[in-house]
Amino acid sequence: MTHPYLPNTDADRAAMLQAIGVASVKELFADVPQDALYPDLKLPPAMSELDLMRELQAMAARNAHLNEHACFLGAGAYHHFIPAIVPHLVFRTEFYTAYTPYQAEISQGTLQTIFEYQSMICALTGMDAANASHYDGATAAAEAAILALNQLPERNKIVVSPTLHPEYRATIRTYLAGHDVDIVGDEDLSATLEQVMEKHLDDKTACVIVANPDFLGRVRDLKPYAERTHAAGALFVVSAYPIALGLYQPPGHYGADVVVGEGQPLGNPIAFGGPYLGIFATKEKYIRRMAGRLVGQTTDTKGRRGFVLTLQAREQHIRREKATSNICTNQALCALAACVYLATLGKTGLRRIAELCYHKAHYAARKINRLPGYRVDLRQEFFNEFVVECPRPVAEINAALREQGIIGGYDLSRDYPHLGNAMLVAVTEMNTREQIDALVRALEQSAKRKTKRRT
């Protein structure tokens, strides 16, 4: 019985066991409790490649995917255009079958791409230094909170904006569960940022974490809030949407000490939630407090430019229990996709993508706002996502949209119940005018018609 991933034949095994000096494989497991050896596992039988691929295709076909359905869901994960060269390069075997570049001399490919990623993230966010990435936007936000607590050890309060992504707020709470830290600011989800700061910002506050655009899509000039946070001696952390940074002021210019964000929109497929990458960038003075991998430029013995993992004294394999974090990887391949994406779109392309998102979203918002029963606050600045007040529960409306092949927006009733029947609609460059017009028509119809909820 052979399997293509297992090259050794029975004859090879026999020769090797003889060289080892044992009579059977079992002798190699003599130190394992013998009563527990070779359990009879309930596992499916092996499959041929042909049969397995057929089964996988059938399984994938049970999912309604975004190449065949207009999608207006965002809420932290976005369906964006990925130029063909991005997956083509990312799927090069030299990249995806390598590991962490411990041996720098034969890992220069990975190292230089990370250096370029770091450079472009700095440009995008307006910060001094970026790491090689965290797991995702949520964990990057949690690591920012930890950086602030380490920087200001006498402080034990993290203030989060009520409109920071609910899953980011939950992740920050999980990460800090073992510590004497108060995470506040989102008790009243209807509170404004002014009210939150008025209530909570004080000399115990290590940082304030705000999203821009926020979870409800709103874009603001955060400079006054950054100044107010700094006046209280705390760090100002901004969670950003990298595509929006093609258009808007970078957080580094309005006072952010740390910029985090979900990097998925930069060339990574939406992929049911992962793998993604967490953007993390900061100012010069916090570099040594930053967790995660960092690549630095140096020279070889012949004076040629080269790249290495650097400032590893912060990391777990050296510092062990004194490390800044337990993270020992990055999302290298996702960061590579982001790097290739940013290089491909470049200065003008990223701006163009951002403008397309902006124009299409505003077109959609205006048309929806004209529909009887629906309302969008058009006075509010937004990028590509906005809240629609609906005449009926969003679940019912979405069921009606789905019948017409449209995947509707995010139902806010669970996370923000005070908003009533509110739908968060995201529009990207992937949505054509026809799709938007179809959405508007379907919304109009579903305002009147009762549809059964699917179960």
Partner 1 sequence: MTIVANKLEPIIYELSASGRAGATLPECDVPETPLPQHLLRQELDLPEVSEVDVVRHFTRLSQKNYCVDLGIYPLGSCTMKYNPKINEEAVKLPGFAALHPYQDVNDVQGALQLMYELQEMLGEICGLPGVTLQPAAGAQGELTGILIIHAYHAAHGDTQRTQVLIPDSAHGTNPATSSMSGYQVVQVKSDARGNVDLDELRRLVGPQTVGLMITNPNTLGLFEEHIREVCQVVHDAGGLVYGDGANLNALVGIVRPGDLGIDILHSNLHKTFSVPHGGGGPGAGAVMVRRDLAQFLPGPIVVKKGKRYEFAIPRKSIGRVKSFYGNFLALVRAYVYLRSIGKEHLARVAEDAVINANYLLARLKGTYKAPFGERVCKHEFVLSGTPFVDKYGVRTLDIAKRIQDYGFYPPTIYFPLTVPECLMIEPTETQSKESLDEFADALLQIAEEARTQPELLKNAPHTAPVTRLDDVKAAREPVLRYKRAS
Residues within window 13-42 making contact with partner 1, judged by CB under 8 A: 13, 15-17, 19-22, 25, 27-33, 36-39, 41-42
Q: Which is nearer to partner 1, 349 or 373 (CB)?
A: 349
Q: Which is nearer to partner 1, 201 or 409 (CB)?
A: 409
Pick from 62, 379, 450, 452 the residue near partner 1 by CB under 8 A.
62
Does residue number 343 form part of the binding site for partner 1 (CB under 8 A)? yes
Question: Considering only residues 214-233, where is the footprint of partner 1 by CB under 8 A?
Answer: 219, 221
Does residue number 304 form part of the binding site for partner 1 (CB under 8 A)? yes
407 touches 73 (CB < 8 A): yes
**Tokens, residue 193:** 């940022």
Does residue number 130 form part of the binding site for partner 1 (CB under 8 A)? yes
Does residue number 245 form part of the binding site for partner 1 (CB under 8 A)? yes
Peptide bond into 45 cis (omega under 30): no
Does residue number 275 form part of the binding site for partner 1 (CB under 8 A)? yes
Does residue number 269 form part of the binding site for partner 1 (CB under 8 A)? yes
Q: Which is nearer to partner 1, 203 or 285 (CB)?
A: 285
Pick from 150, 151, 173, 445 the residue near partner 1 by CB under 8 A.
173
Mask for 78-107, x = binds partner 1 (CB under 8 A): -x-x-x-x-xxx-xxxxxxxxxxxxxxxxx
- Residue 197, CA distances (Å) to 99, 200, 228, 416 in order: 44, 5, 8, 20
Pick from 298, 405, 418, 420 the residue near partner 1 by CB under 8 A.
298
- Residue 317, CA distances (Å) to 167, 270, 292, 314, 421 in order: 29, 32, 12, 9, 50
- Residue 8, CA distances (Å) to 13, 14, 15, 16, 157 in order: 6, 10, 10, 10, 58
Angle in degrees, 0-180, between the axes of helices 193-200 and 223-231, rounded to the nearest 10 = 0
Q: Residue 424 forms beta bridges with which residues?
A: 387, 410
Pick from 202, 297, 418, 449 the residue near partner 1 by CB under 8 A.
297
Does residue number 381 form part of the binding site for partner 1 (CB under 8 A)? yes
Pick from 248, 280, 386, 416 the residue near partner 1 by CB under 8 A.
248
Angle in degrees, 0-180, between the axes of helices 433-448 and 332-369, rounded to the nearest 10 = 60
3-state secondary structure of 72: coil
Q: How far is the CB of 311 from partner 1 (least distance, A)?
A: 6
